[in-house]
Amino acid sequence: MHSDHDPAQLLDPKLLTLFVLLYTTRSVTRAAEALEQSQPTVSAWLARLRELLGDPLFVRTGAGMQPTPRAEALVEPVREALQSLRRISAPAREFVPAQAQRGFRVCMTDASHITLLPRLLRRVRAQAPRVRLEAIPIDDGTPRELEAGHADLALGIIPGLESGFYQQVFYEQDFVCLVSPQHPLIHDTLTLEQYQAAAHVQVLSGKSHALLEEALKAQRVQRDVLLRLPGFLGLATVVADTDLVATVPRQIGETLARNGGLKVLACPIAVPRYTVKQYWHARMHHDPANRWLRNLCASLYMNG
């Protein structure tokens, strides 16, 4: 007895095509011509169809081959099956940026909203004016979002991804310190002694925050943290208006300093560099739209 998944039970597409041709032409001869097969071959195919479906299907009458009730019931499902097979066999649709109307969901930290997103949006607007972007947070659920196809790409740092993911290196990041240009004690350099004596603002955003905390702990450096922020919104204003020191990844630090008139100083403690990458799931690897977005990001961010 055949199981539901036995391939021997599945009908050959050529038999399905013959079925539809016989239904429309009511003639073995005309079906054979359309299929460019000999009449005996087509008769043999019909015999096979009858055997597999357990029904005569088409009966010879004065008005040609007339379908049986079973054939009448099957004609629509057979047409749909052939249509589905054609869709499966059709070449992948090209992604044409200038004409595309779709959305992409990109996982990123709030720092990337400031550093990466404006450049990405400018390039997308230039190449694909009707494409929409949605930035969603990088968190513990990001791998599942990518795997399920709910997100297209992740930009940043996601350590320990399981197999089934691709990643591409963009650039390395180190850490810098931000201070107000009017800071009463810190001017053009920042010593370890000054760093430990200063008041600090801590940003609890992204994996970079954990790297910094580990480095401080390993080197037994104590910080006097007077303010904790969940993200980078407001950080530049706080640093500009107070004597607090912020220790942040270089790219966000330099961007905030440029926009907010802050000083960027070398960090007096050694924090391991980390690598910013883009990540995507294997299911999206050959998708033309996803490939376009990945290539666009690589052209913007590769090597910083």
Strands 103-107 and 153-156: parallel
> Residue 284 has what DSSP assignment?
G
Interhelix angle 13-25/69-89, nearest 10 degrees: 130
Predicted confidence band of residue 161 (pLDDT cuts 50, 70, 90): confident
**Residue 205: CB partners within 8 Å, gap ≥ 6?**
109, 110, 111, 229, 230, 231, 232
| Amino acid in the structure at residue 296 | L
Please state which of the ranges 7-16, 137-146, 236-245, 269-278 shows the lowest mean pLDDT: 7-16
The dihedral sign for the CA sequence 131, 132, 133, 136 = negative
d(CA 143, CA 282): 12
Residue 2 confidence (pLDDT) above 60? no
Residue 90 confidence (pLDDT) above 90? no
Residue 3 confidence (pLDDT) above 70? no
Predicted confidence band of residue 6 (pLDDT cuts 50, 70, 90): low
Closest CA to 112 of 41, 189, 206: 206
CB 253 within 8 A of CB 115: no
Across residues 254-275, what is the average pLDDT? 96
Compute φ and ψ for 167, nearest 5 degrees.
Answer: -145, 150
Q: Give tens-digit pLDDT for 200-228.
A: 999 998 889 999 999 999 999 999 999 99
Q: Give tens-digit pLDDT for 117-127.
A: 999 999 999 99
The dihedral sign for the CA sequence 171, 220, 159, 146 = negative
pLDDT for position 1: 46
pLDDT for position 91: 73
The residue behind tokens 């960027």 is 264
| Amino acid in the structure at residue 251 | Q
CB 127 within 8 A of CB 251: no
d(CA 218, CA 216): 6
Tell me how far CA of residue 274 lies from CA of 51, 151, 299, in angstroms: 66, 23, 20
CB 157 within 8 A of CB 208: yes
Residue 275 confidence (pLDDT) above 90? yes
Predicted confidence band of residue 110 (pLDDT cuts 50, 70, 90): very high
- Mean predicted lDDT score pLDDT of the chain: 93
d(CA 67, CA 46): 13
d(CA 106, CA 111): 14
Neighbour-count burial for 91-110, b at 16+ CB within 10 Å, e otherwise: eeeebebeebeeebbbbbbb
Q: Give tens-digit pLDDT for 13-45.
A: 999 999 999 999 999 999 999 999 999 999 999
CB 111 within 8 A of CB 249: yes
| Amino acid in the structure at residue 111 | A
**Residue 253: CB partners within 8 Å, gap ≥ 6?**
175, 176, 177, 178, 246, 264
Distance between first and last Cα of the chain? 62
Residue 85 confidence (pLDDT) above 80? yes
Across residues 274-298, what is the average pLDDT? 95
The residue behind tokens 């992204």 is 206
Interhelix angle 28-35/13-25, nearest 10 degrees: 130
- The residue length of the chain stands at 304
Predicted confidence band of residue 159 (pLDDT cuts 50, 70, 90): confident
| Amino acid in the structure at residue 224 | D
